[in-house]
Amino acid sequence: MDQNALLGLVKDLYDASKDNQAFLRARFALGKDVLEPYKATISRWVCPDIFRNQDYAVSKAKKAIADYRKALGRAEDTAELTVFYCEQCDCFLSGCGLDDEHYYDAWVRMFAQALKAIAQLDATNQRAFIKRLEVIRSQGHRYGYGVGDDMDQLLTEFKFNVD
């Protein structure tokens, strides 16, 4: 394939779907905030607008993070997306009651993924993420299903020196 054909293919892929656009923007660092489309997807699927009859779908929100990892996968951005996911879960649950153990389990698993992503960063960059997770952890005690206790346990398993 010559250069023009390759550029045409990339353009066609870009035009084919929003997922491709987000991937290419992240891969080539195009635009101001390459995480914005991934965050929008996460927010839509774990913090839906129930007044507009939107449903939640944990798998679609998790796919956004997996898609970002395929596109670029920077540790700091992955930490941002996983912590954001947890914050959006808290936002959704603080506004409505939800009786879905799978949603809560997925939230705790994402909390663990966030900790793993943060552990890859240097101590200076860990500090702000850990503070955000501390807020989420304390909020987790409000919802039942052992969420707060599970988050407490996970946080103690990681030895962050962020004082």
pLDDT in tens, 113-135: 999 999 999 988 999 999 999 99
Q: Higher pLDDT residue, 23 or 114?
A: 114
Which of these, 95, 19, 16, lies nearest to 54 by C-alpha position? 95
Three-point CA angle 85, 86, 88, nearest 5° = 65
Residue 161's pLDDT band (boundaries 50, 70, 90)?
Answer: low
Which of these, 141, 119, 142, lies nearest to 130 by C-alpha position? 119
CB of 56 within 8 A of CB of 103? yes
Q: Does the residue 10 lie in any domain?
A: no
The predicted pLDDT at position 113 comes to 96
pLDDT in tens, 40-87: 999 999 999 988 999 999 999 999 999 999 888 889 999 999 999 999
State mean pLDDT over 103-114.
96
Q: Does the residue 79 lie in any domain?
A: yes
Residue corresponding to tokens 């103690």: 156
pTM: 0.83
Q: Which domain holds residue 130?
A: 32-157
Asked which of 29-38, 48-57, 93-102, 123-132 is least confident by mean pLDDT, the reply is 29-38
Contacts of 124 (CB under 8 A, 6+ apart): none
Q: How far apart are CA 64 and CA 62, in angstroms?
A: 5
Structural domain tally of the chain? 1
Residue 23's pLDDT band (boundaries 50, 70, 90)?
Answer: confident
Amino acid found at 12: D
Contacts of 130 (CB under 8 A, 6+ apart): 118, 160, 162
